[in-house]
A and B are shown apart, each in its own frame.
Chain A
């Protein structure tokens, strides 16, 4: 009895594929070169990092410093929560305009999606700089940056979520003579609600992470303390700031995960 031979372990690439692989590898090396990649620096970094760690530890746990940093962290969370909540609320009407086949025509869909793409293309720190110019230094500029960043993120994903819902309930309501806005409110949005909740909670996590660095450009929050710590070589205080940010961000992620499970599991 003859057995058919197993196929070879590796397929010989076509000439085009071979050129593609070669181009890809060359591209990676070109990017590493542009990024100033240096093995020498990699090798000398650990001692320098150890030197930083040696000067940063123990973190500054002076009660006065902790109180000051604590209030800055509270301000950071206020910026994040206020910005994320307003951003999520404003994202819904924007997403309705961006979602194809719901209430707006293809031109409106496309223009809205391009605008959302532009908002996402500009980093949150750049939006913070713009708003510092527009409304002055302080947490309000940071909050506005979070709002616009959240709209860019949630507007797009809310629209995708609504486009991806089961069309059956919407068709059944359309068949009753319901208007488009009624169909969207009664069938599309409830069907997309679990995805909305998940996206909104992720936006909150993202807002908390962003808000910790907006202070670097004067847009409020604990970021300014980090900058000052490094500028003054006060590494113990800088380390305290880093640890506080890590604890808060991880805590928010855990809380968000718990809320996601509770809300999506139980929401009516």
Chain B
């Protein structure tokens, strides 16, 4: 799989308006003694086509942030907007529409539908998208054309995760959110998945956010956000992105 480097066209370096704007995001779970503050006053801007890696240990608030950005969860306070969509305070129907039309997800445990074949898992999303690519095209992009007729349980973990990537990108999402996409995979398989994600980011100019506690992946990003204790503690631009194939851990 060939992934071109895009140093010259890195949008992060361009003076572009942010597509994601989060201000004062706070998320508190539970109450009283059982209260857990997952996010504390987080401010964040993400630009079109940017590849962001969110780094941090377990419990640092990465997933909570990603879930809020993806319209899966609502903050306790603060605001999050995607272009002209106000995500905070949106109803379930609005959030469903938002996810359906704009967001592609890749999760650590793939979340494939076991009773649908690889091609069907991808088509499932294509059938509800307004301008999808052909499922076969998406599968080709992740190099799984030959596995189209198999069920998820007949695939390896890496293959399943690449199906998840294909499923996420088939709708040509504006934003691709990946939560520990390599968390359950070995290095070689993980690289294949990362390559697929990078390829989508490059070829479709999809704004991409990847959560990981694996700092090696940070080298692929335009910008790395380090989280700890529910806050963004460090923001590091990465002018010299490496290829997925070169990531090691």
Are A and B genuine complex partners? no
